[in-house]
Amino acid sequence: MHLKIKDKNLFELLKGSSISLVFKLFSMGLGYMSMLFITNVYGAEEWGVYSLCLTLLSIFTLLPKFGYDNSLVRIIAEVKAYYSKKALVDLVVKAFLFSCALTVLVVVIIAFSSNYLIDELIKNNELKQLLWPISLSIIPSVVLTIVGAVYQAFKKPWLFIVFQTGLINLTFMLFLLLDYYLGFGKQTFVIYSWAVFLSSVISAVALFMLLTKYKSEGQERKEKKHYSLHNLTTLSFPMLLSSSFALLMGWSDILMLSFYKSSFDIGIYNSTLRLATLSTISLIAINAIASPKFVEFYTSSDMDGLKKVVKQSTKLVFFTSAPILLILMVFSKQILSLFGEEFAVGYWALIFLCLSRFVNAISGSVGYIMQMTDQQKVYQRVILLAFIINLTLNFILIPRYSFTGAAIASSIAMIFWNLTLVIIIKKKLGFWTIFLLK
């Protein structure tokens, strides 16, 4: 209680991120249980096919999501302060309908280009029968994105995590076990697509209940205002481009491994990537509560407050991530062997990925800071450069070093964009995001 009185923002960060961390640990625990199950029961090749399907789903949902995972957090924080409840509901409905229209466009493109996509670009015949489950998972994935963004903007990060990943991982694990014991013989991604659909239905109901109960403040002066679709798309589009290049860095690794190597190599690489992601648990949990606060301080021109909350969040991320990274690097072979002896060959890839996550941890929430402070276009250019670096290095390293080359390329690109954004934020906002620097 003393901490709350002394430093309200730190208390809110600690409280919100702690609750989020518990839910994130539970959610990711379920995800790793599914990974252990698939790798031990079906092997690295099936895990590679599943990983490739997830990569394609992420690519196909990129346009329909339209950057709403970031822009809605930024917009709703403003709408809550200056607009009415009706404007908030209209905003969410507009985002959803616009995403549905884009989904139809993407599904039509997939239908007409499926043969070229599989035969010429991906070169994996196993995916032919999985394209439709991937396509049908687009709308549910978009629903989950919108629901998660609304909850994050409402400073309910634990619900954001539950609906973004927890519910999917729980239903996926349950469906995997049912399939295994009842012998339906479904492919792992088909099972995953059903989990996404069920989770999206539950999430949509939960969002409807939230908006029904929500009461706006100062409604008498807000009813006259609205947030148009043009405003929404204008702010979201740069964030779409930024998130596109950021995600493309991860996707290019998987897709180029598919082009040059086999599903086995994809399986090994994705397992190391999943393990390295363990270190970002606290980053995700802290960002979920910190990003709306970045908006609040920036829109009120309180740069001292913004600097303070940035330093606090970076400090929390560093001290919670560093022990995980150290364990992963020291015991890389032993940890990878848990998924099967064949996975131990990826230990160097895991070490390189952990090194880049360390730089990510000490840099702080640089991406969120840029996007929540109207610097999304600058952020977009930096991410584009990082994507070009990653793509170039993939062409050079993957044919020779396989998944280890992909890890090196990805790590160099991540280090580049983090350190570059640290310097830009210093110049634009006047402070270092690294908590050890003044």
How sure is the predictor about 218, in pLDDT bands with cuts at 50, 70 and 90?
very low
pLDDT of residue 354: 92
| Pairwise CA distance, residues 423 & 80, whole Å | 32
| Nearest in space to 258 (alpha carbons), one of 349, 412, 126 | 126
| Pairwise CA distance, residues 319 & 325, whole Å | 11
Per residue in 154-188, pLDDT (tens digit) is 777 677 777 777 888 888 889 888 888 887 777 88
CA 189, 193, 194, 195 torsion-angle sign: positive
More confident residue, 368 or 107: 107
pLDDT of residue 143: 84
What DSSP string describes 189-228? HHHHHHHHHHHHHHHHHHHHHHHHH---SSHHHHTT----
| Nearest in space to 266 (alpha carbons), one of 118, 53, 415, 420 | 53
Longest Cα separation, the chain: 65
Phi-psi region of 399 (alpha: psi -120 to 50; beta: other; left: phi over 0): alpha
How sure is the predictor about 5, in pLDDT bands with cuts at 50, 70 and 90?
very low
| Pairwise CA distance, residues 350 & 369, whole Å | 28
| Nearest in space to 419 (alpha carbons), one of 407, 437, 392, 398 | 437
pLDDT, the chain, mean: 79
CA 197, 188, 166, 144 torsion-angle sign: negative
Question: 408 pLDDT exceeds 70?
Answer: yes
3-state secondary structure of 262: coil
| Pairwise CA distance, residues 76 & 151, whole Å | 10
pLDDT of residue 224: 47
Distance of CA 423 to the CA centre of its chain: 24
Question: 94 pLDDT exceeds 90?
Answer: no
More confident residue, 141 or 163: 141
Threshold 0.75, pTM exceeds: no
Question: 220 pLDDT exceeds 60?
Answer: no
Q: How far apart are the first and last CA of the chain?
A: 29
pLDDT of residue 53: 83
Question: 108 pLDDT exceeds 50?
Answer: yes
| Pairwise CA distance, residues 59 & 127, whole Å | 15
| Nearest in space to 373 (alpha carbons), one of 430, 437, 316 | 430
| Nearest in space to 436 (alpha carbons), one of 287, 293, 322 | 322
What are the Cα distances from residue 67, in Å, to 119, 283, 351, 385? 30, 20, 31, 19
Query: So where are the chain's domains?
Result: 2-429
| Pairwise CA distance, residues 414 & 382, whole Å | 11
